Structure 1
Amino acid sequence: MRIEADLTRCEGLGMCETMAPDFFEVSDEGTVVIHDPSPGEEHRQELTAAVDACPVLALKLQ
């Protein structure tokens, strides 16, 4: 599994960080930073919820 972010869409709203703080952080520049772009399958449920919570659809799981 791989987390991808479209930084041209990211508005730094922080929903991903709220849902999965071990994996996402909103930088001082206002865009998402992914701490572990290739997490294990055991995190799929948490990450799916975080990706689905993004109101601007800037995140996806591959």
Structure 2
Amino acid sequence: MNTVARIESAARDFGVEVVISDAVREQLSDEVNKMLSQLPAYNARGKTDQMALWTITK
């Protein structure tokens, strides 16, 4: 299972439509970052480190 599949699983687990990784968020403009909120640390299956994930807030 790759990282993208794990992020897709996180979206289902958190009940949100859009989830992005911290690495992607760092590439976004400040304007876009203002529309994001951090999700709780995610323990993805098969990973030892927790993932920092974000979703879009309305």
**Which TM-score applies when normalising by structure 2?**
0.30
Q: Higher relative contact order at CA 8 Å, sep ≥6: structure 1 or structure 2?
A: 1
* Greater Rg by CA: 2
Greater helix percent: which structure?
A: 2
Q: If the length of structure 1 is used for normalisation, what is the TM-score?
A: 0.29
